[in-house]
A and B are shown apart, each in its own frame.
Chain A
């Protein structure tokens, strides 16, 4: 999988929006951008994924830059339950590709 770069940690106030950035300058045209999050002492859970267009679901929004070299996961209103490590991952099209989880961004939500 192509490499992604994320800040090690971020802070947010409760009930405010959070923008988690991810850089993927070597992304190829058919790579999908996936986000997972891992709450303390739990397994990761899927959050959202996209290819080119911005995506929304009940958990978050994914904003993808026009050149696709970066993306931003948006939590519209952070809660204490959103405190987790967030992983940004690229997945290739065509054939099986194993998933590589880096160290992600640790989000702290301040009450």
Chain B
């Protein structure tokens, strides 16, 4: 089945630790995105990538880093500089060429908790 997978489903981080969230898609989509969602809030864009080996900061990129070495993969690292990382993290992908009719497909999410 085509889709987006995120792992792990739950992740625990210790103080001062970097952790990496995985996102893989087999939809052959060019664009991929990372969002953060806090309880009762909407989604906020962290980073996005429109093509391999290129990515741009979203609205809340501080304390996060990404890479896009393969079309299928867009891992997100939550660094120790992110002081309040507890949240629900969502990865999405889309075809880049549909402009205003672009539809985003989301993964099931990773819930990050700080110990």
Contacts and interface: CB of A to CB of B under 8 A. Distances in A.
A91 B42 contact: no
Nearest to A46: B103
Interface in A22-66: 30-32, 34, 36, 41-46, 49
Given A92-B100, A98-B58, A45 B45 contact: no
Contacts of B105: 46
Interface string A64-99: 000000000000000000000001000111111111
Interface string B89-101: 0111000100111
Contacts of A43: 4, 90-92, 106-109
Most interface-central of A42, A43, A98 (chain B CB within 10 A):
A43
Interface in B58-87: 58
Interface of chain A, main secondary structure: loop
A110 B58 CA distance: 38
A33 to B, nearest CB: 10
Interface of B: 4, 33, 35, 40-43, 45, 48, 50, 58, 88, 90-92, 96, 99-109
Contact of B42 (A41, A94, A96, A101): A101
B101 A49 contact: yes
Contacts of B107: 43
B40 A103 contact: yes
A102 interface: yes
Contact of B100 (A30, A101, A104): A30
B48 A98 contact: yes
Contacts of A104: 42
B100 A41 contact: no
Contacts of A103: 40-42
A93 B109 CA distance: 29
A48 B91 CA distance: 20
Given A41-B109, A44-B90, A103-B40, A98 B102 contact: no
